[in-house]
Chain A
Amino acid sequence: NAGVTQTPKFRILKIGQSMTLQCAQDMNHNYMYWYRQDPGMGLKLIYYSVGAGITDKGEVPNGYNVSRSTTEDFPLRLELAAPSQTSVYFCASSYLGQFTEAFFGQGTRLTVV
């Protein structure tokens, strides 16, 4: 099993550009999360999903959008990139959401210039 796979690993965007960060899991997990981590800081939740077709805002959703059309995939869309979105983005998944651990992807390092 691959676990949680994120692509790309690195990306440089210009201000105002848009992009989609891909996240896929092959563990049949119902919960999926997107976090961002700024240097020296903890993880801040952007969006999460408790199942296909259901998404909810986290702590810092502004400037991002998500969709969950399948159990496996949970892409994160950045519209009109800004320097404040320079960060490392982590996708995670877990089963049921209770009494289970979350597995993380390797992260995407995004720089907006």
Chain B
Amino acid sequence: QKEVEQNSGPLSVPEGAIASLNCTYSDRVSQSFFWYRQYSGKSPELIMSIYSNGDKEDGRFTAQLNKASQYVSLLIRDSQPSDSATYLCAVLRGDAGNMLTFGGGTRLMVKP
């Protein structure tokens, strides 16, 4: 099992819809979780971080964490074509000296 897993997509949603991106992780002691957005040919940029169970909202973005199920998700409300990018889930692994480990990313396409 990979340490951090994501569906590679592409996930296609119409403009204005909610995009739901999911991530599972294997390390039960991980405490820090991140969502990065990466446009083609660019470096990743942080859009959300979450450390506690539950939801965390920032504008159109909501991160959800369930440590019991080892699951973290990202919801994007009112999706815009400019949200089209690859979304990378990252976990700071407590079982491995605080290695920051990334999933393979999910490509999101928002169609006008």
- Interface on A for B, CB 8 Å cutoff? 31, 33, 35, 40-45, 48, 50, 56, 58-59, 90, 92, 94, 97-99, 101-107
Residues of A within 8 A of B88 (CB): 42-43
Knowing A41-B104, A42-B88, the reply to whether A106 touches B98 (Cβ < 8 A) is: no
Residues of B within 8 A of A33 (CB): 100
Q: Which residue of A has the minimal Cβ distance to B106?
A: A42
Decide if B44 touches A98 in the complex (CB within 8 Å).
no
Number of interface residues of B (CB under 8 A): 24
- Interface on B for A, CB 8 Å cutoff? 6, 8, 31-32, 34, 42-46, 49, 51, 88, 90, 92, 97-105
Knowing A104-B45, A106-B43, the reply to whether A45 touches B100 (Cβ < 8 A) is: yes
Knowing A42-B104, A43-B88, the reply to whether A98 touches B99 (Cβ < 8 A) is: no
Residues of B within 8 A of A44 (CB): 102
Knowing A99-B51, A101-B49, the reply to whether A94 touches B44 (Cβ < 8 A) is: no
Residues of A within 8 A of B42 (CB): 107
Residues of A within 8 A of B44 (CB): 43, 90, 104
